[in-house]
């Protein structure tokens, strides 16, 4: 069984307030004089389901092209906290739920993914929770919300804890309809030189 946990890139896809709107423009149209259709894309590096590169939140961080890929490929546990989470996910929310030895954790925080609008009050991750997960061997944290930190955060404390532990981040996943459990995650960022992030085609495959 394969679950596609990616947002569909499309006109009108919600983006971070003030960020670049998605647009696809046709460069060449198929016709008698042209055998192909070719388009150009305008979008943010953080549009839809995406991986944050370390240079997004640290001055000396790696870009998308240089980020090691191993964290984005392998067993991942989906944990649904959408019915109980408050403003911040704490380690208490995860105690008794995290399987031993899981290297990747995907947190469902929205009861239903808001495809048609932006929710500025999305739940975020307490920085202490990042430390707690890292201490248990987690190397990637993914979530269906747009950021590990609250929208109005100016200090990005959760991202800074990720940087301190060398973890990987996936944001904006769509986990609706995915039962809790462990799957094989495949969600590779594009090899874009200098980029602070990359859209991903994220899937989960039953083990």
pLDDT, tens digit, 9 for 90 and up, residues 164-181: 999 999 999 999 999 999
The total number of structural domains in the chain stands at: 1
Q: What is the pLDDT of residue 204?
A: 98
Q: Which residues are known to be catalytic?
A: 56
The CATH number that applies at residue 61 is 3.50.30.50
What's the mean per-residue pLDDT of the chain? Answer: 97
Confirm whether 95 is domain-assigned.
yes
Confirm whether 17 is domain-assigned.
no
Q: What is the pLDDT of residue 132?
A: 98
Confirm whether 35 is domain-assigned.
no
- pTM for this entry: 0.96
pLDDT, tens digit, 9 for 90 and up, residues 99-132: 999 999 999 999 999 999 999 999 999 999 999 9
- Distances in Å between the Cα of 57 and the Cα atoms of 32, 63, 151 are 49, 11, 14
pLDDT, tens digit, 9 for 90 and up, residues 57-90: 999 999 999 999 999 999 999 999 999 999 999 9
Indicate the pairing of strand 197-199 with strand 88-89: unpaired
Q: What is the pLDDT of residue 129?
A: 98
Confirm whether 25 is domain-assigned.
no
Q: What is the pLDDT of residue 196?
A: 98
103: number of Cβ within 10 Å? 16
Helices (H), 70-206: 91-94, 127-135, 157-165
Q: Provide the residue range defining the domain that includes 196.
A: 2-6+45-206
């Amino acid at each position: 069984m394969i679950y596609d946990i990616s947002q569909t890139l499309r006109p009108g896809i919600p983006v971070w307030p003030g960020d670049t709107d998605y647009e696809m423009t046709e460069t060449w149209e198929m016709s008698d004089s042209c055998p192909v259709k070719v388009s150009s894309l305008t979008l943010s590096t953080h549009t839809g389901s995406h991986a944050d590169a370390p240079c997004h939140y640290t001055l000396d961080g790696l870009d998308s092209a240089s980020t090691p890929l191993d964290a984005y490929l392998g067993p991942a546990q989906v944990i649904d906290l959408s019915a109980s989470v408050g403003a911040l996910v704490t380690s208490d929310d995860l105690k008794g739920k995290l399987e031993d030895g899981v290297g990747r954790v995907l947190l469902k925080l929205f009861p239903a993914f808001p495809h048609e609008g932006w929710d500025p009050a999305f739940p975020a991750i307490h920085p202490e929770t990042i430390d707690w997960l890292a201490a248990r061997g987690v190397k990637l944290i993914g979530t269906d919300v747009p950021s590990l930190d609250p929208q109005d955060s100016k200090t990005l404390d959760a991202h800074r804890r990720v940087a301190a532990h060398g973890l990987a981040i996936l944001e904006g996943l769509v986990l609706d309809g995915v039962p809790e459990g462990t799957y094989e995650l495949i969600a590779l960022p594009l090899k874009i030189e200098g980029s602070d992030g990359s859209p991903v085609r994220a899937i989960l495959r039953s083990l």
